[in-house]
Amino acid sequence: MLATLVPLFYEDMSVASYCLYAQKENLYQHPHLLGAGKYDGAGAIVGIEVFDSVSEDDLVANCSIIIPINNISLFSNIEQQLTGFDGRIVLLVDQTIKPEESYNKRLLDLKSKGFKLAMKDLPLANIDDFKFMLNDFDLFLINSEAGDVVAQAKEFRKVIPDMDFCAENLHSKEEFDAAKESGLFKIFEGTFFRVPINEQDTEVSPIKINYMKLMTVINKPDFNLSDVSNVIGQDPALSIELLKIANKLTVNSNIRSIAQATALLGQREIRRWLNTTLFNGLAAGKPNEITRLSLVRARFAENLAPVFDYAMRKDELFLMGLFSLLNLILDMPMEKALEQVGVSNEIKKALVEDDGIFSPQLEFLLSYEAGDWQEVSRLMVLHDIEMHDVYDAYVEALKWYGNMFI
């Protein structure tokens, strides 16, 4: 199984929801499913197992969880399958749900049990047929691939004036800005929030410069733990965080000094922790999802290192994932951003040129993150990767993020 959580945003770029994208089988190994993909997992909601390893606290507090269902899974035991996240689950339906009383009755039953309802991929030409059902829906997704979302929203608003709209598949900041400025949308989805910056070149604040200098030191092949310990000791916030993480990672150690913590954790863990902590500092003022995405990418890339035959270079893959959005964090082109933190040439090649030995791993991360299951399936076949290894690596990354930073 493959599964990923895709964020949806409010206009202030805080996370409104996470939508579950999932697929049960590798489509390249089972091509017959391409024609029957909509029935994948009939009778069960594909991908909900991801929540067995992710607690409510691992996701943004109070955000909703959007679960796609089809005309078959609608009549399954949804109430038993989707436990937890009380009042936060939104069932997302499409045109496989027909404007018929049997479907409407089941949807109303689920609504009475605390589930919210959302509709996607409904053409304007069919809206009148569904109007009697949509009165009980909470969210309506309007897809940019069907045309200008603002123009569509104006037409849909005439028929369903009180509905909350989501602008879906926005792939540029210009699209997002236009949708936001229209005042017609409550929620926004797409890759617009992580579009690379290639031209902007801005000044970096003095605090961030200090953080980047320290990152340059710790990312050298070898560095002196005592020197790093002294630098951390001069920053109260870093000192507190180091003692917290050291005591969390070591059982009953009762670590009380910076020197003790750095010596106990060692060079590798100090490098990992400092890169992650300093990265959080660099990302201050940016959307929280940028930080979460970078950290999950980092751990996911590290977890995938063995399946790509790079187990001995997993630390580099961790940094590649961590810094894969550094251009957005620093508001400058990626090549210049990477010069600020000191990384290997292979990481630079992957992130700047989409080339080199780490480029396939980066391509895999981005495809998985977007829920592009056809491309993910192709890459798994190409690199002889087992589906369960990928799924386990992703779920562990989510769990790691929750344990370390929530």
Alpha-carbon distance of 107 to 80, in angstroms, equals: 16
Model's pTM, two decimal places?
Answer: 0.80
Cβ 98 vs Cβ 68: under 8 Å = no
Evaluate whether residue 400 is within a structural domain.
yes
Q: Which of 162, 194, 226 is the last residue of a domain?
A: 194
**Domain match, 189 and 210 both:** no
- Residue position matching structure tokens 């691939």: 145
Ranges 4-8, 36-40, 174-178, 187-191: which has the least confidence? 36-40
Closest CA to 299 of 320, 274, 277: 320
**Domain match, 72 and 46 both:** yes
Alpha-carbon distance of 380 to 360, in angstroms, equals: 11
Q: Which of 171, 194, 217 is the last residue of a domain?
A: 194
Q: State the total domains in the chain.
A: 2
CA 67 to chain centre: 15
Evaluate whether residue 181 is within a structural domain.
yes
- The CATH number assigned to the domain holding 255 equals 1.10.3210.10
**Domain match, 184 and 267 both:** no
**Domain match, 13 and 106 both:** yes
**Domain match, 164 and 84 both:** yes
Alpha-carbon distance of 75 to 57, in angstroms, equals: 29
Tokens at residue 379, please?
A: 């890459």
**Domain match, 242 and 378 both:** yes
In the predicted structure, residue 37 carries a pLDDT above the cut 80 = no
Evaluate whether residue 199 is within a structural domain.
no
**Domain match, 185 and 237 both:** no
Cβ 8 vs Cβ 35: under 8 Å = no
For the chain, the C-alpha Rg in angstroms (whole number) is: 23
Evaluate whether residue 201 is within a structural domain.
no
**Domain match, 211 and 164 both:** no
Q: Which of 146, 162, 194 is the last residue of a domain?
A: 194
Would you state the pLDDT for residue 36?
44
**Domain match, 186 and 210 both:** no
Evaluate whether residue 335 is within a structural domain.
yes
Is residue 55 classed exposed, middle or buried when 0-12, 13-18 and 19+ CB atoms within 10 A define those classes?
middle
DSSP state of 200: -
pLDDT tens-digit series, residues 134-154: 989 999 999 999 999 999 999
Give 120's pLDDT tier (boundaries 50, 70, 90). very high
Residue type, 368: Y
Alpha-carbon distance of 18 to 120, in angstroms, equals: 15
Ranges 83-87, 117-121, 158-162, 318-322: which has the least confidence? 83-87
Q: CA of 266: how far to CAs of 37, 171, 226, 261, in Å?
A: 48, 42, 11, 8
Would you state the pLDDT for residue 405?
63
Would you state the pLDDT for residue 38?
46
166 vs 262, which has greater pLDDT? 166
Domain that holds residue 118: 2-194
Alpha-carbon distance of 109 to 104, in angstroms, equals: 9
For 165, the enclosing helix (H) or strand (E) is strand 164-168
- The CATH number assigned to the domain holding 61 equals 3.20.20.450
**Domain match, 254 and 329 both:** yes
Evaluate whether residue 200 is within a structural domain.
no
In the predicted model, what is the mean pLDDT of residues 255-282? 80
**Domain match, 233 and 97 both:** no
Cβ 147 vs Cβ 175: under 8 Å = no
| First-to-final CA distance of the chain | 26
Q: What are φ and ψ of residue 99, in 5° steps? A: -75, 65
**Domain match, 81 and 218 both:** no
pLDDT tens-digit series, residues 350-379: 999 999 999 999 999 999 998 899 999 999
Number of Cβ within 10 Å of residue 380's Cβ equals: 23
Closest CA to 306 of 205, 208, 392: 392
CA dihedral 359, 360, 366, 368 (to 10 degrees): -170
In the predicted structure, residue 90 carries a pLDDT above the cut 90 = yes
CA 359 to chain centre: 20
